[in-house]
Amino acid sequence: MENITNFDLDTTPLREVNQFLHGDSSKLNGQCVKIQNPNGAHNIAVGLKADVKVAIQGHAGYYAAGMNQLATVVVEGSAGTGVAENMMSGYVHVKGFASNAAGATAQGGLLVIDGDAGLRCGISLKGADIVVGGSVGSFSAFMAQAGNLVILGDAGDALGDSLYEVRIFVRGKVKSLGADCEEKPMDDEAKKILTDLLRKSGHQDVSPDSFKLFGSARTLYNFHVDHAGAY
Amino acid sequence: MSDSKDNKPKPAQPVSQTLPHFSATFDPQTMSQIRRAADTGIYDIRGAGAKRKLPHFDDLLFLGASVSRYPLEGYREKCGTDVVLGTRFAKKPIYLKTPVTIAGMSFGALSGPAKEALGRGASAVGTSTTTGDGGMTPEERGHSSILVYQYLPSRYGMNPDDLRKADAIEVVIGQGAKPGGGGMLLGQKISARVAKMRCLPEGIDQRSACRHPDWTGPDDLEIKIAELREITDWEKPIYVKIGATRPYFDVALAVKSGADVVVLDGMQGGTAATQEVFIEHVGIPILAAIRPAVKALQDLGVYRNGKNSVQLIVSGGIRNGADVAKALALGADAVAIGTAALIALGDNDPRYEEEYQALGSTAGAYDDWHEGRDPAGITTQDPELAKRLDPVKAGRRLSNYLNVMTMEAQVIARACGKSHLHNLEPEDLVALTIEASAMAKVPLAGTTWIPGVTQF
Amino acid sequence: MCGIVGLLVKNQSMRANIGGLMMPMLIGMTERGPDSAGMAVFTAPVAANELKYSLYAPSMEFNWKLLVEEFGSHFTNKPKLSTKGNHAIVITSVASQQVKTWLKQSYPNVHLLSVGHSIDVYKDTGLPADVAARYDLPTLSGTHLVGHTRMATESAITPAHAHPFTAGEDWCLVHNGSLSNAHSLRRKLEHEGITFETDNDTEAACRYLEWRMREGDDLKAALEHGFEDLDGFYTLLMGTKTELALVRDPFACKPAVVAEHDDYVAIASEFRSLAHLPDIKNAHVFEPSPKEMYVWKI
Q: Which residue in A62, A105, A127 is closest to B223 by CB distance?
A: A62
Collect all residues of chain C within an 8 Å Cβ-Cβ radius of residue A39. Answer: 271-272, 275-276
Q: What is the mean pLDDT of residues A31-55?
A: 97
Residue of chain B minimizing CA distance to C252: B216
Mutate to test the interface with C, among B210, B219, B253 (most CBs of C within 10 A): B219
Q: Closest Cα to residue B270, out of B57, B33, B46?
A: B46
CATH of the domain at C102: 3.30.70.100
Beta-strand pair B274-275/B238-243:
unpaired
Q: Are C45 and C244 in contact (CB under 8 A)?
A: no
Q: Do C287 and A97 make contact, defined as CB atoms within 8 angstroms?
A: yes
Phi and psi based region of residue B210 (left: phi greater than 0; alpha: psi -120 to 50; beta: remaining): alpha
pLDDT > 60? residue A17 = yes
* pLDDT at residue A230, as a whole number: 64
Q: How far apart are CA A67 and CA A47, in angstroms?
A: 5
Q: Which of C117, C136, C154 is at the close of a domain? A: C117
Q: Does A223 touch chain B (CB under 8 A)?
A: yes
Enumerate residues 6+ apart whose C-beta is below 8 A from A170: A151, A154, A155, A159, A211, A212, A214
Q: Please state, in angstroms and rounded to a whole number, the distance separating the CA atoms of residues C72 and C76.
A: 5
Cα B276 to Cα B167: distance, rounded to the nearest angstrom: 34
Phi, psi (deg, nearest 5) at residue B423: -90, 0
Q: Pick from C83, C117, C151: which residue ends a domain?
A: C117
Neighbour count for residue A89 (Cβ, 10 Å): 16
Nearest CB to C252; choose among A59, A80, A118: A118
**Minimal C-alpha gap between B434 and chain C (Å):** 27
Check A223 against B42: CB less than 8 A apart.
Answer: yes
Give the burial class of B201: count Cβ atoms within 10 A of its Cβ; 0-12 exposed, 13-18 middle, 19 or more buried. Answer: middle
Domains in chain A with CATH codes = 4-220 (2.160.20.60)
Indicate the SS3 state at residue B28.
helix
Q: In the structure, what pLDDT confidence band is assigned to residue B7 with cuts at 50, 70 and 90?
A: low
In chain A, how many H helices and how many E strands?
Answer: 3, 11
Q: What is the pLDDT of residue C154?
A: 87
Residue among B159, B208, B230 minimizing CB distance to A46: B230
Residue among A42, A146, A222 whose CB faces B226 most closely: A42
C161 plus C92 within the same structural domain: no
Residues C11 and C91 placed together within one structural domain of the fold: no
Tell me how close the Cα of A14 comes to any Cα of chain C, in angstroms: 14
Yes or no: say if B55 and B431 are a contact pair by the CB < 8 Å rule.
Answer: no
User: Is residue B1 predicted with pLDDT exceeding 50?
Assistant: no
Average of per-residue pLDDT across B178-190 = 84
* Residue A62 with chain B: CB contacts under 8 Å: 215, 220, 223-224, 227
Compare CB distances from B256 to C3, C151, C178 and report the shortest one's residue.
C151
C192 and C210 in a single domain? The answer is: yes
Q: Which tens digit of pLDDT belongs to each residue from B239-292? A: 999 999 999 999 999 999 999 999 999 999 999 999 999 999 999 999 999 999
pLDDT value at residue B182: 83
- From CA C128, how far away is CA C133, in angstroms rounded? 9
Which among C2, C172, C206, C253 is annotated as catalytic? C2
The verdict on B209 touching C (C-beta cutoff 8 Å) is: no
Q: Verify whether the Cβ–Cβ distance B219 to C34 is below 8 Å.
A: no
CB C7 within 8 A of CB C261: no
> Is a pLDDT exceeding 70 seen at residue A1?
no
Are C175 and C71 in a shared domain?
Answer: no
The CATH code of the domain that includes C129 is 3.60.20.10
N-terminal to C-terminal alpha carbon distance within chain A: 55
Q: Give the neighbours of chain C: at least 3 Cβ pairs within 8 Å.
A: A, B
Contact C286 A59 (CB under 8 A): no
Number of domains in chain C: 2
Q: How confident is the model at residue B6 (pLDDT cuts 50, 70, 90)?
A: low
Report chain C's mean pLDDT, rounded to a whole number: 94
- C-beta atoms of A40 and C270 within 8 A: yes
Distance CA B274, CA B288 (A): 23
Q: Are the C-beta atoms of B205 and A225 separated by less than 8 Å? A: no
Q: Does the structure show a pLDDT above 60 at B3?
A: no
Domain's final residue, options C117, C137, C159: C117
Among chain B residues, the shortest Cα distance to A128 is held by: B199
One domain for residues C111 and C27: no
Domain coverage including residue C241: 2-45+125-297
Side-chain-side CA neighbours of B315 within 13 Å: the count stands at 28
pLDDT, tens digit, for every residue of B398-409?
999 999 999 999
Q: Is the pTM of this model over 0.90?
A: yes
pLDDT digits (tens, 9 = 90+) for A139-194: 999 999 999 999 999 999 999 999 999 999 999 999 999 999 999 999 999 999 99
- CB proximity B219 to A under 8 Å: no
C298 touches A at CB < 8 Å:
no
Q: Give the three-class secondary structure for B315.
A: strand
Q: Are residues C94 and C61 in the same domain?
A: yes
Is there a catalytic annotation at residue C2? yes
φ, ψ for residue B13, nearest 5 deg: -60, 125
- Candidates C252, C272, C287; nearest CB to A40: C272
Do C96 and C184 have their domain in common? no
- How much is the ipTM here? 0.94
What secondary structure, in 3-state letters, does chain C show? Answer: CEEEEEEEECCHHHHHHHHHHHHHHHHHCCCCCECEEEEEEECCCCCCCCEEEEEECCCCCCCHHHHHHHHHHHHCCCCEEEEECCEEEEEECCCHHHHHHHHHHHCCCCEEEEEECCEEEEEEECCHHHHHHHCCHHHCCCCEEEEEEECCCCCCCCCCCCCCEECCCCEEEEEEEEECCHHHHHHHHHHCCCCCCCCCHHHHHHHHHHHHHHCCCCHHHHHHHHHHHCCEEEEEEEEECCEEEEEECCCCCCCCEEEECCCEEEEECCHHHCCCCCCHHHCEEECCCCCCCEEEEC
A32 three-class SS: strand
- pLDDT of A100-147, one tens digit each? 999 999 999 999 999 999 999 999 999 999 999 999 999 999 999 999
Does residue A221 belong to the interface with chain B, where contact is any CB pair within 8 Å?
Answer: yes
Q: Say how many residues make up chain A.
A: 231
The residue of chain A with its CA nearest to that of B186 is: A222
Q: Cα–Cα distances in Å, from C68 out to B209, C74, C84, C92?
A: 58, 10, 15, 10
User: Dmax of chain B from CA atoms?
Assistant: 110
Q: What is the mean pLDDT of residues B7-13?
A: 71
Type of residue at A187: D
CB contact under 8 A, B256 and C154: no
Q: Which contiguous run of DSSP H or E holds residue B100?
A: strand B100-102
Q: Which of residues 198-237 of C touch B (CB under 8 A)?
A: 233
Distance between CA atoms of residues C234 and C248, nearest Å: 6
Nearest-by-CA chain A residue for C271 = A40
Report all structural domains of chain B as residue ranges with CATH numbers, in order of start: 45-440 (3.20.20.70)
Instruction: Answer whether residue A231 shows pLDDT above 80.
Output: no
Q: Do C233 and B246 touch (CB under 8 A)?
A: no
Report the residue of A8, A9, A63, A100 to disrupt the C interface, i.e. the one with the largest count of C CBs within 10 Å.
A100
CA distance C117 to C93: 11
Those residues of chain C that have pLDDT short of 70 are none
Q: Does C125 touch chain A (CB under 8 A)?
A: no
C282 and C172 in one domain? yes
Chain segment C23-63, per-residue pLDDT in tens: 999 999 999 999 999 999 999 999 999 999 999 998 999 99
Are residue C285 and residue C196 in the same domain, yes or no?
yes
| DSSP H/E element including A106 | none
Same-domain check for residues C93 and C218: no
pLDDT of residue B73: 87
∠ Cα C245 C249 C251 (to 5°): 140
Q: What is the greatest pairwise CA distance in chain C? A: 55
Among A124, C20, C111, smallest CA distance to B154 is for A124
pLDDT of B340 strictly over 80: yes
Mean pLDDT of chain A: 95
Amino acid at C129: A
From residue B256, alpha-carbon distances to B253, C123, C152 in Å are: 5, 20, 10
- A67 CB near a chain B CB, below 8 Å? yes
* Domain match, C136 and C206 both: yes
Residue C255: list chain A partners with CB under 8 A: 80-81, 99-100
**Cβ pair C1:B246 closer than 8 A:** no
What is the H or E stretch that residue A129 is in? strand A126-132
> Are A199 and A209 in contact, with CB atoms under 8 Å apart?
no
In the DSSP assignment, the letter for residue B189 is G
| Tens digits of residue pLDDT in B97-131 | 999 999 999 998 999 999 999 999 999 999 999 99
Q: How confident is the model over C116-127, as pLDDT tens digits? A: 999 999 999 999
> What is the number of other CB atoms lying within 10 angstroms of the CB of residue A175?
14
Beta strands in B280-426 (DSSP E): 311-315, 334-337
Cα–Cα dist C229/C224, whole Å: 9
Query: From the CB of residue A3, how many other CB atoms can be counted at a distance below 10 Å?
Result: 11
- What is the predicted pLDDT for the residue at B9? 67
C102/C153 same-domain check = no
- With 0-12 CB in 10 A as exposed, 13-18 as middle and 19+ as buried, what is A134? middle
For residue B410, the surrounding DSSP H or E stretch is: helix B391-415
